[in-house]
Each structure stands twice: as C-alpha cells, then as structure tokens.
Amino acid sequence: YFISQIPVDAVWSVYEQVLGKEL
C-alpha cells in the first residue's frame, strides 16, 4: 500500500468496484 502519496481508501474503493463488476 502506498499511503505516502495516494489515499488507500480512494484507490481501494475503485479497485473494489472493478473486481465487483468483473467477479
């Protein structure tokens, strides 16, 4: 997790949506 520059919450939210649609 790169918490130094980008917020993990924002990235994880998109990542979860993509997996939710594909899976």
Check residue 9 and give its pLDDT.
84
Distance in angstroms (rounded) separating the CA atoms of residues 4 and 23: 29
Check residue 11 and give its pLDDT.
86
Q: Contact at 8 Å (CB) between 1 and 8?
A: yes
Check residue 21 and give its pLDDT.
75
Check residue 2 and give its pLDDT.
57
Distance in angstroms (rounded) separating the CA atoms of residues 17 and 11: 10
Tokens of 8: 């993990």
Q: Per residue in 1-23, pLDDT tens?
A: 555 677 888 888 998 998 887 66
Check residue 1 and give its pLDDT.
54
Give me the amino acid identity at 6: I
